[in-house]
Structure 1
Amino acid sequence: MKTLLRIVLGFIAAIIFVIVMMVFFGISNEPDVKLDWVMNQADIERAKKILHEGYKTRADEIGTIELSYADLNLAANYLLNRFTKGRALISLKENKLKFEVTAALPENRLGKYLNITFRLGNEDGNQLPTLTKFKAGKLLLPSKAAAFVIQTIIKHSKLNEYFLLATDPIKAVAIDDDKITITYHPSQATLDTARDFLAHNTTQYDHAKVYKSKLAEIIRQHDPDWRLSLAELLQPLFALAYQRASLDTAIEENRAIINTVNDYVNHSKSVATPIKPFYSAFIYKRNDLAQHFIGAAAITTSVNSEIAQVLGEEKELHDARDGSGFSFIDLAADKAGTRFGELAIASPRSARKLQEAMAGIKDYTDFMPDPRTLPEHMDEAEFNKRYGSTQSEAYQMMSKRIDELIAAMPIYKQ
């Protein structure tokens, strides 16, 4: 009995040792992979298409997906940035998939980034790839020990749902010089779960029902003869969150509020039972500003602020070509919403401070600066004449001016 106990304790100690080594050597103040690439709207749409590819296969049918290494990188970076700001580089080396991953970490004493490198390959005739090499920073760890630890971490984290949906139907992965070919055989249960999970594209929490119920109550009581302010939706929900949330749940509750309000304001098609009746929400007598603000906040809390910023600029450049024209007013709403989303999930303390502040607001001027003097309605020719591009000095000066307007607001001074 004592011998068995020693074996169990020794095994646990070995696993703890591997985890400690992964953390100690993997964390650094310098990223191994530069975080200098941000997915644009086309990248995001392509990544979503890749992840939704399995929808075309019926239950209990065998399907295949061929992915170039560019597609594989898009999908991996899209998933990675749903959890943290980071970058993944996937390449072929010695007939194996090589992953170089850097992920930004919350503020801590050890370092700013987690750097890991690993390889996956088909060995011993196996149709499914296994971990063949693993490095935490510069430290090379036994692949089998690292694989066990990684699987344990995934199993007990929010990554588990993604992991199960991605791996359960997969029967074979063939690694070639220019692509990988995935053969999968999904069950009906797996397809149903995947469709529901990917369609919403945001993490759902049980307490989101509380905020949806509160929002429905607000809408029922709204006088249709009066314009609906975005503040009328956000203030009572954050007041409720400030009453019921704790430091442990503050971030999740803020994310639930922002997603709930965004689903309503931007008419999300992924909501099975939308709140009715529908009234457009307004900021400064404009419903597009409310849509921009809460949409950017939702993207920030679901993915990250960099992607929210890129999508805002891409939308305005598109409008300059084929729409109502480039608008720095709309961009200001995007930037303010992005900043709002950042504070909503930056840390438990930041999340609670935002709840307290939003519970006490009077109107939308408490979270959105007045942008109405900024230029807008510029077609492509006018935008190019005045600003050239989003990288020009003139554009950057205007962008900085908007940032200063937002930073001057008390609610954003944390």
Structure 2
Amino acid sequence: MSVIRFLGALITGLLAAIVLLIVLILDTSPSVSANASEQIADADTVKKLLAQIRRSINDRERGHVITISEQQVESLIGFVQRAAPYIHGTSAIHPDHGTIEASVAVPAAVTTLYLNLEIKVLPADRLAIDHVRMGSLSLPGPFAVGLVESALNIYTDSEIGTQAKEQITRVAMTETQVAVTLQPMDSFLRQLNEIRAGFDEEERDELTKLTAYYLRYIAGREIALKKKPQPFNAYLNLIMARAREQSTQDNVLQHNKAAVLALAIFIGHHRIANFVGDVQPDVEHALKPASSVLLRGRSDLSKHFIISAALKMLSEQDVTVAIGEFKELMDRGMGGSGYSFVDLAADLAGVELARVLADPDTALRAQNTLASTPDESVYMPEVDGLIEGLSKQEFTRRYEKVDSEAYLQEVEQIRAKLAQMPFYNRESAG
């Protein structure tokens, strides 16, 4: 009887602790209210940050200093908010500290509650977190970092959390930017690859196997060896015809997903494989077509289209569209191709393609249509008349920001074109 009482008291205590924790960390109102369209106005500045990160990875035998401006941080936070509208965040950089704040909406039974976060970073010869605040609960920085470090180490059965923390050897701040000094990345990246390989071996599921199968299949077709540019539609015909041969009503969604992912890896970018697993026959030589693949006569559109379809298969629609939009905003800067509603049309069409292929009510019909359609007009709208090549200055003059009425009208015109296409029309989709 005493044991039962003890267990009852223990359970009651745990429930009380959970309730107390919820009360402490959740608030009834957000602490941050940020406008994502204003935050991503300087998305073009992120290109410089990405270039620094690429250098630190490619030249992994040497240490590097990554300089991050407040504009870049705000742009990335704005991207997150466009992809996940329930998150609002902001940042600030000062010579003696930097802060990141966020409010995450948490739907509750009666009302919406908010997880309000604040992380304060200090300049130091290491990663120094002053505190992490969640609602009314404030954790000392070293304790919070230690928790994350231990969790990563335990989850991966490695020392990757410790290595990640020790990669940072100095953090310096000015009024407008943070300079993070990193140790050579070679050892850390090797450890990451070992962990990923271990997970792939343990968790190599049916999707990974199917994607590898379709990748080998499309790479072995005669069209993939031709030296002249080939139509995207021919590739799509081939891979969807193969998927149709392999599919039943029970497994059609898995085959459609694997076929799209394989085509995205082959035509779009080989790094899409990182989201799927070990699918390349030779990891040192990624499979790719011998010549460019054209959609509406352009190789860039085929990449936009199929990568967006793949990302939609792997994530939520808001994430996929936000990635495409952010990429276009980055292209407005010097050296970029400029903001393109043509590219955005291909992104949105790819999202729609994934939608009909992933819907149990339309998957088989869509598969059958794509296996035999004679041209791309079934799934890719005309792009004549859509504006592209806009510099940052011209984009701002015309549209101001990405939630302005003028901008939303342009996007709505593209969506209207897609809605009018029988292949995507929800009412005639059955």
**Which residue, 340, 350, 353 being the options, matches 1:337?**
350
SS in 1 for 2:220: helix
1:232 aligns with 2:233: no
User: Structure 1 CA distance, aligned partners of 2:168 and 2:76?
Assistant: 16
1:318 Cα offset (Å): 8.8
Aligned residues: 382
Paired residues of 1:33 and 1:87 also in contact (CA < 8 A): yes
Aligned residue number for residue 34 of structure 2: 33
Aligned residue number for residue 70 of structure 1: 71
1:90 Cα offset (Å): 1.5
1:407 Cα offset (Å): 1.8
1:404 Cα offset (Å): 0.7
User: Structure 2 CA distance, aligned partners of 1:163 and 1:337?
Assistant: 37
Paired residues of 2:214 and 2:239 also in contact (CA < 8 A): no
Aligned residue number for residue 216 of structure 2: 216
CA shift in 2, pair 1:407/1:178, >3 Å: same
Paired residues of 2:127 and 2:170 also in contact (CA < 8 A): yes
User: Structure 1 CA distance, aligned partners of 2:311 and 2:41?
Assistant: 13
CA shift in 2, pair 1:39/1:142, >3 Å: same
Aligned residue number for residue 116 of structure 1: 116
User: Structure 1 CA distance, aligned partners of 2:212 and 2:181?
Assistant: 40
1:260 Cα offset (Å): 3.4
RMSD: 5.7
**Which residue, 50, 59, 62 being the options, matches 1:48?**
50
User: Structure 1 CA distance, aligned partners of 2:88 and 2:173?
Assistant: 22
**Which residue, 179, 183, 186 being the options, matches 1:185?**
183
The gaps in structure 1 that reach 5 residues or longer are 199-204
SS in 2 for 1:361: helix
1:308 Cα offset (Å): 0.7
SS in 2 for 1:405: helix
SS in 2 for 1:216: helix
CA shift in 2, pair 1:181/1:14, >3 Å: farther
**Which residue, 404, 407, 411 being the options, matches 2:416?**
404
SS in 1 for 2:323: helix
The gaps in structure 2 that reach 5 residues or longer are 197-202, 273-282
1:402 Cα offset (Å): 2.4
Paired residues of 1:87 and 1:103 also in contact (CA < 8 A): yes
1:100 Cα offset (Å): 1.5
Scaled by the length of structure 1, the TM-score of the pair is 0.63
User: Structure 2 CA distance, aligned partners of 1:318 and 1:368?
Assistant: 31
Aligned residue number for residue 199 of structure 2: none
User: Structure 2 CA distance, aligned partners of 1:110 and 1:103?
Assistant: 17
SS in 2 for 1:90: strand
1:214 Cα offset (Å): 1.2
Identity of paired residues, percent? 16
Matches within 5 A, 1:4-403: 13=15, 16-17=18-19, 20-21=22-23, 25=26, 32-36=33-37, 37-38=39-40, 42-52=44-54, 54-55=56-57, 58-59=60-61, 64-74=65-75, 80=80, 84=84, 86-92=87-93, 95-102=96-103, 115-122=115-122, 127-130=126-129, 132-135=131-134, 139-143=135-139, 147=144, 166-174=164-172, 177-186=175-184, 188-193=186-191, 206=204, 207-222=207-222, 229=233, 230-232=235-237, 235=240, 254=257, 258-266=260-268, 268=270, 272-275=284-287, 278=290, 280-283=292-295, 287-298=299-310, 304-312=320-328, 331-340=344-353, 343=355, 355-356=363-364, 358-362=366-370, 363=373, 368-371=379-382, 374-375=384-385, 389-390=398-399, 399-403=411-415
Deviations 1:271-293, CA, capped at 9 Å, x for gaps? 74332553544445665542332
SS in 1 for 2:348: helix
CA shift in 2, pair 1:68/1:53, >3 Å: farther
